[in-house]
């Protein structure tokens, strides 16, 4: 007989609905009057293309987040799978993995989506510090997804609500801390990156955001190995 392998369990937190207010704020934020000359209303074709680009950028951010989880599932040979879950009645999916992964592996798998979000946000804001004034719907959509997802996960962590498959719950256990502390670690870069988007010249939000992001990666060494 083939050996029986441990049952897979839900991966963490692929269950957060987009925050439309944040997505719209990034997508519709106009350039200031002193940054560019007034233009006539854009043609409908260009508007449709911009909307499609923004949605495509948000979708790319979502896939990148999931790709981070999947990558470490494969690295740890954790038998990744897919399970249907819901959040507030809205259907989503969760990536599953074996139940016998170590706490450090659990933390890595659960936090990998945020690692990817933080890396891509840093790339976008560093390579395009004037993003708010640019016509760059794909990058704005991607950044908006990163911020919206972090805000939603952070809110769920502070309230400890939502499905058990949320990332912040999977991160808190191995660290031996209350879930709201993880929520704060996730929410801080989202707030600071939004600040950087609005005011690219501000230095302390830029460096504070980077320190928190690096700290979230370094925290893997604090995961309890038992």
- Evaluate whether 59 touches 71 at the Cβ level (below 8 Å): no
Would you give per-residue pLDDT tens digits along the chain (226 residues)? 433 334 444 444 443 444 445 555 565 554 444 444 444 556 666 788 889 999 999 999 999 998 999 999 999 988 877 766 665 566 666 777 777 889 999 999 999 999 999 999 999 999 999 999 999 999 999 999 999 999 989 998 998 887 777 899 999 999 999 999 999 999 999 999 999 999 999 999 999 999 999 999 999 998 876 5
- Evaluate whether 36 touches 133 at the Cβ level (below 8 Å): yes
- The terminus-to-terminus CA distance of the chain in angstroms comes to 31
Altogether, the residues listed in the chain come to a count of 226
Q: How far is CA 49 from CA 27, 53, 133, in A?
A: 12, 6, 18
Whole-model pTM? 0.79
């Amino acid at each position: 007989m083939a050996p029986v392998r441990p049952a897979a369990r839900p991966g963490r937190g692929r269950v957060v609905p987009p925050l439309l207010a944040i997505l719209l704020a990034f997508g519709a934020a106009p350039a200031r009057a002193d940054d560019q000359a007034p233009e006539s209303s854009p043609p409908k074709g260009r508007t449709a293309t911009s909307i499609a680009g923004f949605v495509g950028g948000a979708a790319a951010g979502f896939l990148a987040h999931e790709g981070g989880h999947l990558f470490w599932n494969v690295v740890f040979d954790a038998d990744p799978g897919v399970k249907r879950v819901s959040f507030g009645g809205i259907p989503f999916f969760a990536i599953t993995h074996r139940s016998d992964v170590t706490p450090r592996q659990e933390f890595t798998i659960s936090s990998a989506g945020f690692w990817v979000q933080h890396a891509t946000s840093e790339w976008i804001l560093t390579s395009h510090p004037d993003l708010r004034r640019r016509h760059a719907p794909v990058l704005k959509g991607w950044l908006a997804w990163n911020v919206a997802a972090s805000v939603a996960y952070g809110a769920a962590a502070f309230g400890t609500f939502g499905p058990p498959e949320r990332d912040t719950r999977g991160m808190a256990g191995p660290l031996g801390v209350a879930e709201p502390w993880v929520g704060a670690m996730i929410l801080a870069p989202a707030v600071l990156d939004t600040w950087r988007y609005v005011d690219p010249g501000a230095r302390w939000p830029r460096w504070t955001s980077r320190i928190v992001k690096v700290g979230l990666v370094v925290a893997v060494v604090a995961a309890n190995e038992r």
